Structure 1
Amino acid sequence: MVFHYPNGRKYHEKCSTENVKKQLPTKSSYSNRGMTLEEDLNETNKYYRIHNIAVIHKKPTPIQIVNVDYQSRSTAVIKEAYFRQASTTDYNGVCNGKYIDFEAKETKSTTSFPLKNFHEHQIEHMKKIVEQNGITFVILRFARTDEIFLLEGKVLFHYWERMIEGGRKSIKKEEIIQHGFPIPYGLHPRIDYIRKIQELNLL
């Protein structure tokens, strides 16, 4: 199946393959239970909703189907589709009357987090959230070491501007440790980012 971005550029199969691999279960342990970051966050958000802590949802990505193979009604296959609009961030919702909007990213690097994982329109979107006194941040996962950090939007903006000005194209792990906040894995909820932003007095 072929996907296209709003500008018509093809969504590369390499990216699609990596996303499929992320969804495949692996051997689980307490710290790495074979769950993707997205699955962990979805379970966390479900826990928040059930316990009336917050109402946070993953944003759907609208697509427009342009080519379907109708060999039969029961075996119709989508052959080509377009993303209707550029995505902003992954999750949004409300907690204690405060708007929350955040992005979740993973990397296989053990030393830095590539800024190419973000897009300019996402950064601009997050800046507008800050202008409206909303809460915005990114949740970063180092997949190989299974470490998760929360990095406030204003900190991400600093490193983004550094890149734009010709600096590093990634955030060193040491910088994330210094300016970010680790989120330990739990059972219920799995990634308790609400507690972390409460500890930071953002709520």
Structure 2
Amino acid sequence: MIINYPNGRKFVSNTTPSSEKQTKKISYSNRGMTFEEDLNETNQYYLTHGLAVIHKKPTPVQIVDVHYPKRSAAVIKEAYFKQASTTDYNGVYKGKYLDFEAKETQNSTSFPLKNFHEHQIEHMKNVLNHNGIAFVLLRFSKEDEIYLMRAADLITFWNRMLSGGRKSITKEEIKSLCISIPIGFQPRIDYLKAVDQLIEESL
């Protein structure tokens, strides 16, 4: 099956021999899970313990070529990952609607705004207009530091860029405005404690 990403590149299935896969798996486990996997594990912990219901939204796929070798079976031959129109995660916590995006960077001194898209900013504006709680989780990969930034602050930095200002958010600005989230064990990224602060601010 051929799957194409939004930029036109084709998804290539990994055909690495099983012995090499095993080696890669060991190497991968040594350097830890990805940001998305950590968040998904955290959300599963929240769900299992009855704390919140938060899920990652599936990436929309446009199917363009389907074969029917049998009447009862369809085989997708070609599909495209479409550009998501909203953010990555949403759910419910303490009766509040949560909507957020998770981004990371290899930079150590700033967070590039190119990591975000106009439709995501507009979506977060709409969530705020309906009294929902919107934010972004920012991860500095090299330092393994994670911060929660309120959507309102992100929108301010976005507007600064549109007005001709810098195209990134400095680390100093992030440290002064955002809520630091420590890395734990269970759950890995306990961001609900930071969300509690946002809820208090909204009262």
Q: TM-score, normalised by structure 2?
A: 0.81
Measured against aligned partners, the alpha-carbon deviations of 1:154-188 in whole angstroms (never above 9, x if no partner) come to 00000000000111111111111111111001111
Matched, 1:137 2:138: no
Aligned to 2:4: 3
Q: Which stretch shifts more, 167-176 or 59-68?
A: 59-68
Equivalent residue letter for 1:82: Y
**Structure 1 residue runs without a partner (length 5+):** 15-20, 29-33
Q: Return the offset for 1:49.
A: 0.6
Q: Which stretch shifts more, 39-48 or 85-94?
A: 85-94
Equivalent residue letter for 1:173: K
Aligned to 1:18: none
**Structure 2 residue runs without a partner (length 5+):** 12-23
Q: Return the offset for 1:82.
A: 2.3
Q: Return the offset for 1:68.
A: 6.4
Aligned to 1:40: 38
Structure number with greater Rg is 2
Aligned to 1:103: 101
Of 60, 63, 69, which residue of structure 2 is paired with 1:62? 60
**What is the rounded CA distance, in whole Å, between the counterparts of 2:107 and 2:181 in structure 1?**
18
Equivalent positions of 1:65-80 (< 5 A) are: 65-67=63-65, 80=78
**What is the rounded CA distance, in whole Å, between the counterparts of 1:146 and 1:166 in structure 2?**
30
Aligned to 1:31: none
Aligned to 2:191: 193
Equivalent residue letter for 1:142: F
Aligned to 2:157: 159
Equivalent residue letter for 2:133: I
**What is the rounded CA distance, in whole Å, between the counterparts of 1:144 and 1:44 in structure 2?**
21
Equivalent residue letter for 2:4: F
**What is the rounded CA distance, in whole Å, between the counterparts of 2:192 and 2:100 in structure 1?**
12
Aligned to 1:53: 51
Measured against aligned partners, the alpha-carbon deviations of 1:78-137 in whole angstroms (never above 9, x if no partner) come to 664223453310000001110000000010011111101000000000000000000000
CA contact (8 A) 2:62 2:81 kept: yes
Aligned length: 185
Of 25, 29, 35, which residue of structure 1 is paired with 2:28? 25
**Compared CA separation, residues 85 and 110, structure 1 to 2 (3 A):** closer
**What is the rounded CA distance, in whole Å, between the counterparts of 1:131 and 1:82 in structure 2?**
32
Aligned to 1:170: 168
Aligned to 1:17: none
CA contact (8 A) 2:98 2:132 kept: yes
Give me the identity figure in percent.
Answer: 60
Q: Return the offset for 1:69.
A: 8.7
**What is the rounded CA distance, in whole Å, between the counterparts of 1:162 and 1:110 in structure 2?**
21
